[in-house]
Chain A
Amino acid sequence: MSSEIPEPVLPVSPMPHAPRPKSLGLHKGEPAPGVAKVDPIIIADGITRTFGGLTAVNVDQLEIPRNAITALIGPNGAGKTTLFNLLTGFDKPDTGSWTFDGKSLSKVPAYRVARMGQVRTFQLTKALGLLTVLENMKLGAKGQTGEHFFQGLFPGIWRKQEKEIEQKAMDLLVKFKLDAKKDDFAASLSGGQRKLLEMARALMSDPVLVMLDEPMAGVNPALTQSLLDKILDLKDEGMTVLFVEHDMHMVRHIADWVIVMAEGQVVAEGPPLEVMQNPAVIDAYLGAHQEIDLGELTGRYTPEGKI
């Protein structure tokens, strides 16, 4: 690689905020699939998972850098969500080992993974529809004394903690612009609002690592900017973020590191701008039409106007 990496061209006018600096120098040596990181939070080794005859995930070596935002991208069916499920204990791999913060996670059930500080959201949201938005949020807090049977009988024991949790929940709801909906049933929220609720709920447990499965899918573009800011805030607060996303604007905008999966394997990784210029990634994932107006491509419009 040349010694001078050209400065990425940053958008000029309509950006409401100055872009925040990306974390650099996360890896050791040349960026390549499986490259070692300076300070990894997750190290996965030889993980495979097959469904019947189909190998959904086959990852030799993968490290996720700490206190950075890592994007996991790849075509549909590449195994991104399966990898998420494996890393969070929602599914068990056939072979392999992986550690979170130096502790092995083999055979650790999902709820305990969450208590260790690694929380996730889901592509298809799992809000509890018949609880209110606020109740959903309060469920996300961990170590609640009232959870135990006998303590639960005496409100005096947990009332103070309950108040604190409620305050924290409200603060988060305000941040995610859901405060007006706090007493509505979660079932009444739209798809995008459920996404927001799920993300806010994940933050209730003060996680170390937040894993977001398509956080922007179904979220209206005008809201995207503020959500992106929220995710960048997480990094500033010392958390690590790993997310799956198809919105390349978002990936380019906030990710410090990008991992590309295809057919269960890691095929490329590196800083976003470099990865997105990788011909193999364009071929397998981004497609050739990225910068083309589809109206013109499909012959519906010419630059002069409608045909």
Chain B
Amino acid sequence: MAPAEPALDQPAAAPGQLVVHIDNITAGYLPGVNILNGCSLKAYEGELIGIIGPNGAGKSTLLKSIFGQVKVREGAITLMGEDITGLKADKLVARGVGMVPQNNNVFPSLSIEENLQMGLYQRPKEYAERLEFVVGIFAELGKRLKQRAGSLSGGERQMVAMGRALMMRPHVLLLDEPSAGLSPARQDEAFIRVSEINKAGVTTIMVEQNARRCLQICDRGYVLDQGRDAYTGTGRDLLNDPKVINLYLGTLGVDA
């Protein structure tokens, strides 16, 4: 496992300090149709936050609105107390927000190495040092730096995308379904990696379909429903909450 890195070059935050605060936002794609309807979320320094919920609840939209890819119509998003509502992606990356989208998350025609370099194009001088950190977490990537990303399988691409986001030494990492499309062993591995990244000091907000696994590792979880944060609590509490089990976890998992 990678050594725990101290704070990044963003303003250092004390443990327990509020890092991301989503305050009652409304957002959507089509005019007049709101996907998020007064959704709030808080992420404190060093926390691993899991977001679960049914299809179409607005989980991905919530991440996209933090990352400036969806217009926030009402409400505000702050990072370390500063308003970042509607800020474009490049500005957010410079402020230490990294995002790993669910699909189309690598440049297929570039090599793994070039993909990682793209993650650091704003500060290319730190490349060697950051590469070491990323390869420390994803050893497989280090062995195959020259391989074209387009020739990788889904799970490998996911690693490249996560690695690329980590190149920038993010303060906050946004993950959109890191386990999607991975085999069970790889899913477990992805969650363990996410946990490692978080333990290295990165405040992480993760959207997941694999709610059970997600809640097992996250510090706190939010259950989204119809664009609102319907339930919140520690991962454990949500895992054991009968209402959450019934509505969002499903009962199928119990035949394990």
> Can you list, as one digit per residue, whether each of A60-90 has a CB less than 8 Å from chain B (1) or not (0)?
0000000000000111110000000000000
Distance, CA A253 to CA B251, complexed state (A): 12
Distance, CA A222 to CA B254, complexed state (A): 13
Interface status of B136 (Cβ within 8 A of chain A): no
Q: Are B250 and A286 neighbours in the complex by a CB distance under 8 Å?
A: no
Q: Are B55 and A192 neighbours in the complex by a CB distance under 8 Å?
A: yes
Q: How many of chain B's residues touch chain A, expressed as a range?
A: 35 or more
Distance, CA A54 to CA B154, complexed state (A): 16
Interface residue from A10, A11, A75, A294 paired with B186 (Cβ < 8 Å): A75
A124: chain B residues within 8 A (beta carbon): 103
Q: Are B151 and A51 neighbours in the complex by a CB distance under 8 Å?
A: yes
Q: Are B247 and A222 neighbours in the complex by a CB distance under 8 Å?
A: yes
Q: Are A300 and B60 neighbours in the complex by a CB distance under 8 Å?
A: no
B102: chain A residues within 8 A (beta carbon): 191
Least Cβ–Cβ distance between B246 and chain A, in angstroms: 8
B57: chain A residues within 8 A (beta carbon): 190, 220
Least Cβ–Cβ distance between A151 and chain B, in angstroms: 35
> Can you list, as one digit per residue, whether each of B4-37 has a CB less than 8 Å from chain A (1) or not (0)?
0000000000000000000000000110010000
Least Cβ–Cβ distance between B190 and chain A, in angstroms: 10
Q: Are B181 and A214 neighbours in the complex by a CB distance under 8 Å?
A: yes
Q: Are B184 and A246 neighbours in the complex by a CB distance under 8 Å?
A: yes
A252: chain B residues within 8 A (beta carbon): 255
Interface status of A223 (Cβ within 8 A of chain B): yes
Q: How many of chain A's residues touch chain B, expressed as a range?
A: 35 or more
Interface status of B81 (Cβ within 8 A of chain A): no
A73: chain B residues within 8 A (beta carbon): 183
A291: chain B residues within 8 A (beta carbon): 256
Known: A52-B151, A217-B180. 18 other contacts (CB 8 A): A73-B183, A75-B183, A76-B186, A77-B152, A188-B33, A190-B57, A193-B56, A196-B55, A219-B209, A220-B53, A221-B252, A221-B253, A223-B54, A246-B183, A249-B253, A287-B185, A290-B188, A294-B188
Interface residues of A (CB under 8 A from B): 10-11, 14-16, 51-52, 54, 73-77, 123-124, 188-193, 196, 214, 217-225, 228, 246, 248-250, 252-253, 285-291, 293-295, 297-298, 300-301, 305-306
